[in-house]
Structure 1
Amino acid sequence: MDDANGTGVWSERDGHVLVVRFASPPYNFADLAMLEAIAARFAEADADPAVRAILLCSGGRVFCAGADLVNANPVANERAPGARNPFYVAAARLFAVETPVVAAIQGAAVGAGLGLALVADFRVGGPQAKFCANFVALGFHPGFGISAVLERVIGRQRALLMNLTARRIRAPEAHDWGLIDQMASDDGLHATALALAHEIAAGAPLAVASTRRTMRGDLAALVAAQTDHELAEQAWLQKTADFAEGVKAVAERRPGRFVGA
C-alpha cells in the first residue's frame, strides 16, 4: 500500500505479516498525521484475518526522535478545557491494536519515539539503538503513556531512573534491561525483526490472540487514562519558564539552565 495521503506511512504484506514503515527524514518526528496513519494501518491489520503479526519500522538512521516541540508541539495548550488531545487519542489507539507487533529499532527512540517503541510487544534493536525519556530535560512531564507503560517492560526502578534523569540507554544496556528483546546487526535488523514477526504469525491465530489479550491485560485502558493525566501535568508545565528554557536548550544543543519556576 502506498503513501497516498502523504503521511509518510507505508504498508505492504509479507505473507501473514503486515510491514508498516514510517519515514519523515531526518528525525522521523512523530506528529498527529503520522500516528493516525499508523493507527489506520493497524486497524486494517486487525480487520484482516490473513494478517497475524505486524512489523513496525522506520526509514533512516533514527527510529523516531519524538515530537517536534520547537516547531510543531502536538500537545500545546490549544484545546477547550477538559478536551482530550488528538495526539494522545491516536497514541491510545496504537496501544489498543489487537495484532501482535514487532518493532525494528535502528537508532534513537526518544520521547514520543520511545512511546511508539513501547507500543510493540517486542523490540529488535540494532547496535546503534538507544532509548531516552528526555522529558525532564525539557522541563516537561512524560507523555504517550510512558509514565505507566515503561515500568511494565523494564521494572519500576529502571523506569524511574530513565524518567527522572533523561539518561540515554544504549543498545547493550537496553538489551540487558529487556527494553530490547533481540539484538541484530545493522544489515540484519529488518530480517531479524521480520523473522520474529513470522514466528509469531506461525502460531495458531486464535490461540495467539487469546494469549496476548490475557497477558496484555488492561494496557490500552491504562494508556487512555494515563495520557489524560500526563496531559494535565504537561498543560501547567508548559506555562513555566523552565519549559521555555528546556525547549530552547534542546534546540541549541546545550544543558538547560533551570530555575524551578
Structure 2
Amino acid sequence: MTSDVTVQRDGAALTISLNRPERLNAVTAAVLNDLADLIEEAAADAEVRVIVLTGAGRAFSAGADLKSRQAGEGPPGTDTIVAGNRVIRALRDARQPTIAAVNGPAVGIGCSLALACDLVLSSADAYFLLSFTSIGLMPDGGATALVPTSIGRARAMAMALVPERIPAAEALAWGLIYKVVDAGELDASVKALTDRLSTGAPLALAATKRAINASTLTALEEALGRELENQGRLLQTSDVAEAVVAFVEKRPPKFTGS
C-alpha cells in the first residue's frame, strides 16, 4: 500500500482517504487497486461497522490522472477502468454501509466513486461533474447505471452529454446525494452518521443494503462491462490523445471524430 491512500480507524468506523492533494486526488490504476484492496479488507473485518471514503485536501477526487502520461506512467487505460470497477464492486458488495464524505469536487471516476457509496454527504461548496465526453470518453465506474438510477434518464443524459458542474445543493434536490452541510460541519456530520450506523444492528443493515441494491442496481454489472468495452475503444482514438495533450497545455481540444 502506498501513501496515496491512507486509513484511519475510529472505533468501528474506518475512513479511507485518497491522499494525493497536490493532484486533487486524481487517481491511477495503482491508486484504485490500493483503494479496492482496502475496501475488501475492511468488508471482511467483523470489527468494522461502517466504511467512509473521502479525499485529502480540497477535493474528493478530480478523476483519472491525465497528467500521468507526462510523468512517464502512461495515460489512463483499460487497466484504470478495470481497477475502478473493482472499487465500485467492493463498495456495492461490502456488508457494511459505505459513506462518501465529499469535501470538494467529485469529477469523472471520482464522481462515480462517490455515487457508488450507500450514503453521500457533501460539503455545500462541493460539486459533481461527469467530465468524460469533454475529453473524448464516455462515463465509466458504473456511472451509466448509478446516475440514471438516482436522477432519471433526462438529467443523467444532461450530466453526461453536456458536462457541467452540479453544485451540491442541486445534486441534493435532484436526489443524487443524501445530505449537504456547511463546509465546516462536514467532519462532525460524518462523525454523527458513523456513530449512528456503528451502533446499529449490523445484520439488519447488511440485509437492507443487499436488498435495496438488488432492486435498484440490476443494470450495474452490464453497465460495467459495457463501459469497459466501449471505453477501451475510445481510449485508442485520436480524439482522446488530443484531449490529453490539450488538458496538459490548458487549451480546448480540437476533436475530429477519429
> TM-score normalised to the size of structure 1?
0.87
Please give the residue correspondences for 1:7-26 in structure 2 after superposition, counting only pairs within 5 Å.
Answer: 7-26=3-22
CA contact (8 A) 2:146 2:217 kept: no
**Aligned residue among 37, 51, 65 for 2:62:** 65
Preserved CA contact (<8 Å) 1:75 1:87 = no
Aligned counterparts, 1:128-147, within 5 A:
128-147=125-144
Give RMSD over aligned pairs: 2.3
Range with greater deviation from structure 2 (189-198 or 127-136): 189-198
Matching of residue 75 in structure 1 with residue 77 in structure 2: yes
CA distance in 2, matches of 1:96, 1:221: 13
> Aligned partners of 1:7, 1:99: CA distance in 2, in Å?
24
Counterpart amino acid of residue 169 in structure 1: I
Q: Indicate if the aligned counterparts of 2:88 and 2:141 stay in contact, CA closer than 8 A.
A: yes
2:146 maps to 1:149: yes
Q: Report Cα offsets for 1:3-44 as digits up to 9, x if no partner.
A: xx3242222322221122221122111122222222222223
Three-state SS of the structure 2 residue aligned to 1:149 is helix
Contact 1:7 1:37 in 2 (8 A): no
Q: Is the 8 A contact 1:31 1:87 kept in 2?
A: no
- Using the TM superposition, give the Cα deviation of residue 114 of structure 1 relative to its aligned residue in structure 2, in angstroms: 0.6
Q: 1:113 to 1:106 in 2, by over 3 A?
A: same
The one-letter amino acid paired with 1:67 is: A
CA contact (8 A) 1:95 1:223 kept: no
SS at match of 1:19: strand
Note the alpha carbon deviations across 1:145-164, whole angstroms, 9 max, x for none.
Answer: 11111112222221111011
CA–CA separation in structure 2 for the residues paired with 1:19 and 1:130 = 21
- Residue 236 of structure 1 pairs with residue 246 of structure 2: no
Structure 2 counterpart of 1:56: 53
1:37-186 residue pairs with structure 2 within 5 A? Answer: 37-71=34-68, 72-76=74-78, 85-186=82-183
Identity of aligned residues (%): 36
* Count of residue pairs brought into register by the alignment: 252
Deviations 1:160-182 (A, max 9, x none): 11011111111221121122311
Q: Match for residue 202 of structure 1?
A: 199
1:225 aligns with 2:222: yes
Q: Residue 62 of structure 1: CA displacement? A: 1.0
Instruction: Extract unaligned runs of 5+ from structure 1.
Output: none
SS in 2 for 1:187: helix
TM-score by length of 2: 0.88
Q: Distance in 2 between matches of 1:94 and 1:204?
A: 19
Q: How big is the shift at 1:86?
A: 4.2
Which residue pairs with 1:6 in the alignment? 2
* Shift of residue 73, structure 1, vs aligned partner: 2.9
Match of 1:188 in 2: 185
1:94–1:75 Cα change, 3 Å: farther
Gaps of 5+ in 2: 69-73
Q: Distance in 2 between matches of 1:190 and 1:219?
A: 29
Q: Where is the helix percentage greater, Structure 1 or Structure 2?
A: 2
Cα pair 1:74 1:87 within 8 Å, conserved: no
Specify the alignment match of 2:253 in structure 1. 256
